[in-house]
Amino acid sequence: GLTGFSPADANSRTSQKHDTMALQLAEGESILRQNMGSYKGKGFFGTKNGTFYLTNQRLIFATASKGMSFLMGAGSQFIPGSKVEWEIPLGNITGLGYERVALGKWSCVTAGGEKYLCGFMSNDWIHSYIKDAITALGKSVIADGENYKVE
């Protein structure tokens, strides 16, 4: 159908699909940043608007079931009634950068062999926020032009 498909759904090690449920923080997990944005899924109707959450353990994209979120910058809680579209453990991310699609340029997070095309509000998500959170896990993030590979 036209219900937007998360590439990671097929690989539960990369991502877990949730039906509508509250986003839960794991033990020792905290939200570093949250911001509105969009995700370019597969197909013509694949692009969804929602909220990105970066925690010290995961990158999460959720759509709000009702109302919009205007919370910007550093946040400390999930928006009630949100539905998790996908989540990626930071340790699974192998690349950060950009991907050209049609007329636009999307931020790209690579994990589990899949590319997640993300419309972040700011390039700081790639160049600073996510990169720094991965570095904090003890991984090396190596610049390669305007992209990064994670080792």
Radius of gyration of the chain (CA): 14
Query: Predicted confidence band at 104 (pLDDT cuts at 50, 70, 90)?
Result: confident
- Counting beta carbons within 10 angstroms of the beta carbon of residue 107, is it exposed (0 to 12), middle (13 to 18) or buried (19 or more)? buried
Position 68 scores a pLDDT of 44
**Angle at the Cα of 25 (from 121 to 59), degrees rounded to 5?**
35
pLDDT of 5-50, one tens digit each? Answer: 444 443 333 344 444 445 788 899 999 999 999 999 877 778 888 8
| Per-residue DSSP letter, 108 | E
pLDDT of 42-67, one tens digit each? Answer: 777 788 888 899 999 999 999 876 54
Query: Predicted confidence band at 77 (pLDDT cuts at 50, 70, 90)?
Result: low
